[in-house]
Structure 1
Amino acid sequence: MNKDEVWTRTLSDTYFPLSAKCARPETFKGSLQSWRLGNLGLSEMNCDGVKYIRTRSHFTNEQESSLLITIPHKSDVCFQQGARDTSCSPGSFLVERGDLPYEFSHGQANKLWVLKVPTASVRSRLGATDRLGALTFDASSGVGSYFLGSVRNTIESIELIGDAAREMAGQHLLDLLCLSMRSDNRILDSTASTIRAAHLQRAEQFIRDNLANPNLNSQVVAESCGISLRYLQRLFAENDHSVVGYIRDKRLTRCHEMLRMVNNTSTMAQIAHKWGFYDQAQFCKHYRARFGCTPTDTRKQTRLEAMARS
């Protein structure tokens, strides 16, 4: 097996299937450390120049999509996905969609931190992820800088903390990541008029920020956004949603996240109650409709997967 094949297998096992082409195969050197942070993956990579290619054949059979958040340290990385061709410099981070083909490369030795994040988890906090692919975000100040600092602290402390703390660190990094991206106008829906898009985005974000509020309903959302209930319902209907259905969907995603945390000791009822489900039977019904299995099945499968990895 040549170095391209070895590095391809290493990266594919850590992230998802792709192909690697080393710039100088005869002298290529690379190392990769990776850790589980609950639903997230975190890794530190040091390697010589390389190009990664992900084609449709790589993700034809994947059930759940992921985003890779790449943070370069030594030099720029180049990335092409869809119609976007961009570069990312140290002090910034790059978003890569795993459900679309792409090319990623750096011509010289580099050090990269990479977060693998479930797309659904970002969507439940940030909204649509379609426009995130190949976007670069400045992380030299503000929340972005805090996010990078938290990634650094996590890596430096990772061997000193247990699995439960790692899960909590993963949730913290996920929340900071989404917070650092959410104010960027590039992720707004450009297919709607500016005013209507802004109203819908504000309403959706209010919902995502208040999912744990037991009093969250259509009227509360409308009043908080300064629009009428009728107008709010029309905005969601134009996007093939209902307000109630949108709230339920995002709450189910948060419940699913918690059930996928191996070290979470909350009962099924406590998780459902935390995210606004007070009828256990209705919760299980909606959960099965959304994920194709019961909450109990999800928890059992997660623990089996954890045992297989250990």
Structure 2
Amino acid sequence: MRVHYSTAQAAPAARKRYWDEAISQTYFPLELGFRSGPSFSGDLDVWSLGNLSISRNLSDGLIYRRHQRHLLHEREESYLITVPELSEISFAQDGKEVRCRPGAFLVERSHLPYEFSYVEPNALWVLKVPSATLRARVGQPERLASLSFDSTRGVGALFVDMIRNTAPRLDEMSDAAREISGKHLVDLLALSIEGDERVLAGAASSVQSAHLHRVERFIRTHLAASDLSPRSVAEGCGISIRYLHQLFATQGTTVCGWIRCQRLLMCDEALREIGGRRSISEIAYQWGFSDHAQFSRHYKAHFGRTPSEAREAARQAALAAETMTMPVG
């Protein structure tokens, strides 16, 4: 479903308030600083892809500020992947500043204050992704915040092309097809950033980081196998079991603990699917859990609620979003 907002629908004196409300409904609460006078112009299209969204934002120059007060009642963290097309954007978060020009995309984190601005009129594509969805595909996604990535070649270009080409077709798709398209977009996003040295870098050496990255990718590829074990991971990656355990010790976890966490994240994503028809047991078995009761215990320990409670909460949130996602007047 597409929702369209346009300041042309509001009286000149009410355009700024209209745009403020449209932005808050689409992303999350922000403080807006308008550069132009009463003639401010903006158009915003938003498409839902399950628990993700794509938006096309065209407006005059603006400053968007996310303050600590905006975070007080926020529960679920999300990331905005922003693609500027007409002019440069400036972004500052967590003590880091970056400029992102057309030909690149930027990652913003909702759970930290930030300032985002552009002086000239701009056209932005924005993919909004829940933290849990991104975390299931990228280790420690908070490392991505305030980083700019190339979108002129390779997988980065394919990712941005898919955003541009998917949005106009979403109105023709079923809910299930839109949800699957959203997952493909996040998969492409993960592929486009996973080889970046800034993402791989950490406390470990570059060699350790490369090995850990290869191991994590192997595990994600084989999560559905119920017999996935440290031994099969080590053999699949051509390293010793002892070294495998050392790699995860540098991250403050264990191999089995990390495998279980990734499985839980994928199960959580499946439970949040809009209109999902699979039973909880089917979801658990799909992602490598062989015992339903054990899965439920691990899920509750990790997320603080049972799988059935999580599924019901997702349904209620979807109903609330449908009610709220109406063009502001």
Contact 1:39 1:257 in 2 (8 A): no
Amino acid at match of 2:89: V
Aligned partner of 1:39 in structure 2 is 51
Contact 2:132 2:269 in 1 (8 A): no
Q: 1:72 to 1:307 in 2, by over 3 A?
A: same
Aligned partner of 1:86 in structure 2 is 98
Aligned partner of 2:316 in structure 1 is 304
Structure 1 residue 12 displacement after superposition = 1.6
Q: How far apart are the structure 2 equivalents of 1:77 and 1:4?
A: 20
Q: How far apart are the structure 1 equivalents of 2:18 and 2:304?
A: 36
Indicate the SS of the match to 1:86.
Answer: strand
Amino acid at match of 2:206: T
> How many pairs align?
310
Greater shift after overlay, 5-14 or 133-142?
5-14
Contact 1:288 1:294 in 2 (8 A): yes
Structure 1 residue 3 displacement after superposition = 4.5
Matches within 5 A, 1:106-117: 106-117=118-129
Residue 291 (1) aligns with residue 303 (2): yes
Q: How far apart are the structure 2 equivalents of 1:244 and 1:187?
A: 23
Amino acid at match of 1:31: D
Indicate the SS of the match to 2:136.
Answer: helix
Amino acid at match of 1:295: P
Q: How far apart are the structure 2 equivalents of 1:304 and 1:82?
A: 33
Structure 1 residue 62 displacement after superposition = 2.1
Aligned partner of 1:8 in structure 2 is 20
Unaligned runs of 5+ in 1: none
Matches within 5 A, 1:64-103: 64-103=76-115
Aligned partner of 1:208 in structure 2 is 220
Q: How far apart are the structure 1 equivalents of 2:135 and 2:318?
A: 25
Indicate the SS of the match to 1:131.
Answer: helix
1:52-95: CA deviations, max 9, x gaps?
Answer: 01122211332221110001111121111223222222222111
Contact 1:44 1:111 in 2 (8 A): yes
Aligned partner of 1:184 in structure 2 is 196
Normalised by the length of structure 2, the TM-score is 0.89
Amino acid at match of 1:259: L
Amino acid at match of 1:232: L
Amino acid at match of 1:103: E
Amino acid at match of 1:96: E
- From 141, 145, 164, give the equivalent of 1:133: 145
1:115-155: CA deviations, max 9, x gaps?
Answer: 11112222221211232111111111221121112111211
Percent identical residues:
45
- From 61, 64, 74, give the equivalent of 2:73: 61
Contact 1:69 1:95 in 2 (8 A): yes
Contact 2:234 2:241 in 1 (8 A): yes
Amino acid at match of 1:285: R
Structure 1 residue 309 displacement after superposition = 3.3
Q: How far apart are the structure 1 equivalents of 2:69 and 2:205?
A: 36
Amino acid at match of 2:52: L
Greater shift after overlay, 77-86 or 161-170?
77-86
Residue 224 (1) aligns with residue 239 (2): no
Q: How far apart are the structure 2 equivalents of 1:3 and 1:54?
A: 20
Q: How far apart are the structure 2 equivalents of 1:208 and 1:56?
A: 35
Indicate the SS of the match to 1:52.
Answer: strand
* Greater relative contact order (Cα < 8 A, sep 6+): 2
Aligned partner of 1:265 in structure 2 is 277
Aligned partner of 1:174 in structure 2 is 186
Q: How far apart are the structure 1 equivalents of 2:128 and 2:321?
A: 17
**Root mean square deviation, CA, Å:** 1.7
1:260-289: CA deviations, max 9, x gaps?
Answer: 111222121111111001100001111111
Structure 1 residue 249 displacement after superposition = 0.5
Contact 2:226 2:290 in 1 (8 A): no
Amino acid at match of 1:264: G
Structure 1 residue 177 displacement after superposition = 0.9
Q: 1:238 to 1:140 in 2, by over 3 A?
A: closer
Amino acid at match of 2:318: A
1:162-186: CA deviations, max 9, x gaps?
Answer: 2111111111111111111111111
Normalised by the length of structure 1, the TM-score is 0.94
Greater shift after overlay, 191-200 or 249-258?
191-200
